[in-house]
Amino acid sequence: MAILPIRRAGDPVLREKAKRVRTIDSSIHKLIDDMWETMYDAPGVGLAAPQIGISLRVIVIDVPEHEPVALVNPEIVKRSGERDLDEGCLSVPGYRGHITRSVKVVAKGIDPYTGKEVRIKAQDDLMAEALEHEIDHVNGILYIDYLPGPDALVPVGDAPELKRLQER
């Protein structure tokens, strides 16, 4: 396993629509191991493969009150409701932003350890937010894209210049 550098907003790999994984082989398991290690080291509660420079549809999430989940080729199947959230991202260090996300989220994907399709239902919790956030990443979307205006992004700590983060 390896802790890999996390790509930051402005890096083109974060803006690509990541490729579907065709075969879950040892290289995918190694990728996921590296993603877990990188995420826990950061520390964060979710990570998508493009954030370590790999343009593949793979995500990992570990939030309280849920088992850790790794998903290959994840998709949102259903979403409903709206709620306001204060969100952050390891690729946008130094900022938090107020955005709107869904209340209920159903996602599906392949469990890389069993090879079987799994569905994850989440409602009004961090898992629902993380599923939308990480699946956005594999579609080249960052949460800052949803900001209603410049005041919605709040610097925390040592924040880099805002303009660079908004390039796409």
Catalytic residues: 134
For residue 114, how many other CB atoms are within 10 A of its CB? 9
Least distance from Ni ion to the Cβ atom of residue 31, Å: 17
Kindly tell me which of 26 and 96 has the beta carbon lying closer to Ni ion: 96
Kindly tell me which of 89 and 153 has the beta carbon lying closer to Ni ion: 89
Whose CB is nearest to Ni ion?
89
The tokens of 121 are what? 């239902």
Summarize as ranges the residues that interact with Ni ion (CB under 5 A): 89
Least distance from Ni ion to the Cβ atom of residue 115, Å: 26
Kindly tell me which of 72 and 89 has the beta carbon lying closer to Ni ion: 89
Least distance from Ni ion to the Cβ atom of residue 72, Å: 18
Amino acid 49 reads: A
Q: Supply the DSSP symbol for 137.
A: H
In the sheet with 58-61, reading across from the earlier edge strand, the strands are: 46-48, 58-61, 69-80, 104-110, 117-123
Please give the helix or strand (H or E) that residue 39 lies within, else none. Answer: helix 26-41
